[in-house]
Structure 1
Amino acid sequence: MRDSKQYSRRQLFTHFARPPVKQPRLVISNTCDNLYGYCESCNDSCSKQAITWYADKKPVIDTDKCNRCLECIDACFISAITMTEE
């Protein structure tokens, strides 16, 4: 027999009645200059070091380190970084 978990009224209301909050995330498009050369302007502007560079591929943003300060968007001179809803 399964044990049923007991919830308080507050837990039921706050956890189950509200839809999950979607966190915005940063996305780097395929127009990033790192595909054709080496830029590193967004990496230099990131104080949390959340951007990882790879040779001949676009950079990757670590969502755990990123605090969504948007400094990388301001630093990208070709607007390759955008904010999207997850």
Structure 2
Amino acid sequence: MQRTYFVRAVWDKEAGVFVSESDIIGLHIEAETVDEFEATMRDVATDLVIANHISPEQLETVPLRELIPTIVWERPGPEMAA
């Protein structure tokens, strides 16, 4: 079972927002600032991992410590954070 997921904020020059690149199913973030992006990511990423990557059977049979995901957040460099 995958326990490590990544989230990266990428600047979409055409739209003028940061958008997400991630291997978390269902995660799509668009935000004007990195701080807004990060707040949204922290609010929804874990819930999406639980909803879309862990089966009900796993919730019942696998110890909780083995189900807690690690989310690797790659914040853009300072030149993109403005």
TM surpasses 0.5: no
Structure with bigger gyration radius: 1
Which has the larger share of helix? 2
* TM-score, normalising length: structure 2: 0.28
* TM-score, normalising length: structure 1: 0.27
